[in-house]
Structure 1
């Protein structure tokens, strides 16, 4: 990622803060993490890490656009996909957490990790987010793959 993209990513993310200057200061001089409110520019769908990593892998297909911003929390074992705001919050499922208006998300700067948080796909400053339909399809496919991998091995059939 170029410096220009990092700077645009910083400005784009900081714009969702109540005080963008304080947000950027915190990234550079404080703990390195800012709490940003979801629901205005983006929402975040958080999924268990294994499911999230497999989903992101499925989204990196040549036929698809580059995935939107994606954050991993290594301590919590979760992956967060940044999506367009959805006032209905229609994401429901085991292990899914949906952050929308009224929710706060801990976010490191786009240019470096902080504590256990790091960007798998940092924001590029263009406002690109994950497409809900594409993300849902990839999550279903990844969930199906994980279910197959978790199934106990079958023994030979008896006649």
Structure 2
């Protein structure tokens, strides 16, 4: 990640913190390298089980015309979080799926962190690019179906727009 892109990414991500200066200081000089960021203002976070989230991240990576949004991996909790535009009326349904919006907080490493138990699979680019909910819906549905077939279960039927089935 080039220095200007890293700086832009850090500024963009730190803006979601209650104290952006302290957040940036922790990322650069702190002991944990992790800061708390508020969801719901600039972005929401769709949290899915790790196995499904990694498949979705791989699928999104294969779409050449798609500008992927940030994606965070938490190997300790076995979860993947995708940053989406904040939409308070959106409902995502599925086993192990949570949408973190206004009033929720996430722990996030510095944007350049691509190693460790908490790391970015796709770091923020600093321009505000987020994952597209409609694309996420299709990707989640497809990957959930693949996992269901691999595990010998039938995939659930689609219910509603922007409803991720897992």
User: What is residue 4 of structure 1 aligned with on the other side?
Assistant: 4
> Does the 8 Å contact 2:27/2:110 carry over to 1?
yes
Task: Quote the offset at 1:63 in angstroms.
Answer: 4.3
User: What is residue 117 of structure 2 aligned with on the other side?
Assistant: 116
- Structure 1: which 5+ residue stretches go unaligned? 153-159
The higher radius of gyration belongs to 1
- Listed one character per residue, the Cα deviations across residues 92-138 of structure 1 (whole Å, up to 9, x for unaligned) are 21110111000000000011257520000000100000000001100
RMSD over aligned CA atoms reads 1.5
- The answer to which structure, 1 or 2, has the higher relative contact order (CA under 8 A, 6+ apart) is 1
Runs (4+) of structure 1 exceeding 6 A deviation are none
Q: Within 1, Cα distance between the matches of 2:65 and 2:139?
A: 11
The correspondence of residues 108-147 of structure 1 with structure 2, limited to 5 A, is 108-113=109-114, 116-147=117-148
User: What is residue 157 of structure 1 aligned with on the other side?
Assistant: none
The correspondence of residues 32-43 of structure 1 with structure 2, limited to 5 A, is 32-43=33-44
**TM, length-normalised to structure 1:** 0.90
Cα distance change of structure 1 residues 96 and 62 upon mapping to structure 2, 3 Å threshold: closer
- Structure 2: which 5+ residue stretches go unaligned? 154-166
Task: Quote the offset at 1:90 in angstroms.
Answer: 1.1
Whether 1:18 and 2:8 are equivalent positions in the alignment is no
> Does the 8 Å contact 1:60/1:66 carry over to 2?
no
